[in-house]
Structure 1
């Protein structure tokens, strides 16, 4: 009996000890970033207005540069400083290289089969490589210089015809047509603006797409409330816009397929447009996985749509700020006209000499970033950022608009002062300076920077070389309307109208 007794006593002590350890064991609490109070079910969604970058900026002023919000059931990390952005885009770039699945992006980009919104992985690496090699490499960009020169020349002639008729210039329309025609020619093989409603129809579709991408689809955050989008018109508009874009892209692809079947493939690389390249890759099947028609349309829309929208938006804001600051405009014109000299036109060989012009573009990208909140990312594992625990699956919004006006990084941050980039010309938009990331940084940085800036610099230099510009009314420059549109891309809400006077040497 004695051994049994001591066994029972030992068992009782073991059970008691186990019970006490279980009840009083230390709890490893995670330390989450500061977070504003949230409402039941919707979390912090009610605090996001029609201009999300401003709403997030206001919250960040209270809760700090790393702030955790709750959009329904989804954790959202909002990043509002260069130091915090460095942790996401540099230190832990691989962990945050993925994209979340968001309904508007999935619908408009064919299940996110494009470069910008596709999940991080082998498919993304392959199609990014295709885009960089066949459309955005230095060699290909150089091969398109005649296209850029021709389209800029046509833009100048159009303005000259308006001036001869004593008409003001709708620069918003002129700049959109220019960028649309350049992108159409190099990506799609021909311009689509000459067929009556062509450019205006696609411009409308593109504007609607950008507006939808900038909105919040409630079903992505509160799944059982997804039906709301059937009643507020969001789903209907999304379906209509996606179908309109798909019809347009189907026509483009079919046109190329028909031409290739009748005339054979275009052998000369310099005469191939991007659709030719994609169809050739589809035929050869050299990627290790098939690239289907859906993928081709998604990639085309990404390259063409995003390129057109952001490029003309940057030009529009640059001209807006120059009209608001006539002294700065005069300084840029003096630089351009001195370098161009007696030549009839600006050429791309001149562009590297336009230091003040480049500073104007940098300052415009700081004050008016076309995409103020970088495309969202999503963490693929638990990670610590600045001492805070960031759980796997957290969505990340980097509010570049706030970072670009952070007084810790920028002197007189709210003022348009291109000179700051002459004093410190080493600051660039290649993702190395985290206080200045209009094109993003890290693995998901925009691959089209050089292409975009070549078009922008040639266009703006030509406008400032050929004409003197002024506002069409007597209002003060500082009172000029700079209201932003809604949507993922921030255009000037009202059209930019200006008076042009030909410049004679």
Structure 2
């Protein structure tokens, strides 16, 4: 579908065949990112990997992030952090159970994911977490790309009236202020640690600073780059993970039989255990199916991240001109009745006899994208998704607030670069398995 978004030519891709053309056949042609007016204001202090233009710098940075910063080995090294934060999370909710009041699951999950992510990044809990979470919420809104100044970039009047650029600059200043604080907190902690402790317990910021000093991977990093990458890791990783967990819980409340099956699986797999560890996750296939179905029905980034055509080409018989913005409508593709039976229904078991996966080879299902621009933090996100959902279902039974029946649970979405629930999810917990 061809659109004129104000002054901007745009093509929306809404079928697996067209998505394959964009993200595989002509992947290099569509591998760069358009820099909108708002985005230029937010990346003024440094450019990470997500919005970096395609080229040698991006290739080296992507290689560094994939092989060093977010490798499978590095993600596994943060297992003790994830399990410790999950135990604290359970303890906090268990303490609230006797009061009989509903728990704000949205806020608690957001805090858990933030603490887990930040400890992996700087080695300890962040002293200004709440401020950083507010920045995440703001980023979701201003990053949509549909602000007036983004649609009419040549008009100084529109940009002045719209005010989005001013908000974006203020957001960037605040985000970098918090990143500066995180770096200082990291340095203070490291100054009191031995060389052996630093080598054995290297966090993500430590990897970035070491790489800057050593100049490894042919990718020179300045302070602005490190700040941008750190901010990007947190904003992208925490938002999509917590949003997916909350949508999963909402769907489970609407589908009690699915929740019962998941809890039965947990009971059989863990038996007399009193806590969930990551070793247990290999024996929980149904939890994985719930996550896959949640990502299908509630794709965190419904339009993925925009791409820009670098050279005019032909897609399925249609000409796409150089400079055109291309949006892959993953939300529509994941709900296409040609490829999905009862696409609007939450059915995790649809994946039991199906080999479709989100690793970027099945173009009817690309919640993390595909091709060169596939999300490099996929493993980092999945590690938290599986553990947190398993913990929520193993330790607690959940009930909706009084007077709310499953079929009437509010599922309204909030518009942004990612799709959150418009309102927080409140549920009544009952402790099933104490720590």
Name which of 367, 373, 380 aligns with 1:444: 373
Q: Which stretch of structure 1 is more off in the superposition, 392-401 or 213-222?
A: 213-222
Name which of 352, 375, 400 aligns with 1:471: 400
Where do 5+ consecutive residues of structure 1 fail to align?
Answer: 1-66
DSSP-derived class of the 1:501 partner: strand
Name which of 90, 96, 112 aligns with 2:30: 96
Question: Paired residue for 1:457?
Answer: 386
Q: Distance in 1 between matches of 2:270 and 2:191?
A: 46
Judge conservation of contact 1:378–1:395 (CA < 8 Å) in 2. yes
Where do 5+ consecutive residues of structure 2 fail to align?
Answer: none
Pairing 1:70-219 to 2, within 5 Å after superposition:
70-110=4-44, 113-192=47-126, 195=127, 198-219=128-149
Compared CA separation, residues 102 and 111, structure 1 to 2 (3 A): farther
Taking structure 2 as the reference length, the TM-score comes to 0.95
Larger Rg: 1
Q: State whether structure 2 residue 229 is matched by structure 1 residue 299.
A: yes
Instruction: Encode CA deviations 1:221-252: one digit per residue, 9 max, x unaligned.
Output: 43332432322332332222111101111222
Q: Distance in 1 between matches of 2:9 and 2:352?
A: 41
Question: Paired residue for 2:348?
Answer: 418
DSSP-derived class of the 2:239 partner: helix
Q: State whether structure 2 residue 290 is matched by structure 1 residue 355.
A: no
Count of residues paired in the alignment: 434
Q: Which runs of 4+ in 1 moved over 6 A?
A: 261-267
Q: Distance in 2 between matches of 1:348 and 1:289?
A: 33
Superposed CA RMSD: 1.9
Compared CA separation, residues 286 and 475, structure 1 to 2 (3 A): closer
Name which of 383, 395, 399 aligns with 2:313: 383
Q: Distance in 1 between matches of 2:156 and 2:405?
A: 47
Compared CA separation, residues 255 and 464, structure 1 to 2 (3 A): closer
Question: Paired residue for 1:230?
Answer: 160
Pairing 1:49-64 to 2, within 5 Å after superposition:
none
Q: Distance in 2 between matches of 1:487 and 1:269?
A: 40
Q: State whether structure 2 residue 360 is matched by structure 1 residue 431.
A: yes
Judge conservation of contact 1:317–1:492 (CA < 8 Å) in 2. yes
Judge conservation of contact 1:439–1:446 (CA < 8 Å) in 2. yes
Judge conservation of contact 1:105–1:111 (CA < 8 Å) in 2. no
Question: Paired residue for 1:498?
Answer: 427
DSSP-derived class of the 1:464 partner: helix
DSSP-derived class of the 1:223 partner: coil
Structure number with greater CO (CA < 8 Å, separation at least 6) is 2
Q: Which stretch of structure 1 is more off in the superposition, 252-261 or 85-94?
A: 252-261
Q: Distance in 1 between matches of 2:267 and 2:44?
A: 47
Q: Following TM superposition, by how much is the alpha carbon of 1:189 offset from its aligned partner in structure 2, in angstroms?
A: 2.0
Compared CA separation, residues 468 and 288, structure 1 to 2 (3 A): closer
Q: Distance in 2 between matches of 1:267 and 1:339?
A: 35
Q: Distance in 1 between matches of 2:195 and 2:323?
A: 45
Q: Distance in 1 between matches of 2:313 and 2:346?
A: 38
Q: Distance in 1 between matches of 2:257 and 2:393?
A: 13
DSSP-derived class of the 2:181 partner: helix
Compared CA separation, residues 263 and 464, structure 1 to 2 (3 A): closer
Compared CA separation, residues 129 and 217, structure 1 to 2 (3 A): same
Q: Distance in 1 between matches of 2:153 and 2:292?
A: 41
DSSP-derived class of the 2:414 partner: coil
Q: Distance in 2 between matches of 1:381 and 1:373?
A: 22
Judge conservation of contact 1:112–1:118 (CA < 8 Å) in 2. no
Q: Following TM superposition, by how much is the alpha carbon of 1:463 offset from its aligned partner in structure 2, in angstroms?
A: 1.1
DSSP-derived class of the 2:120 partner: helix
Q: Distance in 2 between matches of 1:214 and 1:157?
A: 36
Q: State whether structure 2 residue 244 is matched by structure 1 residue 314.
A: yes
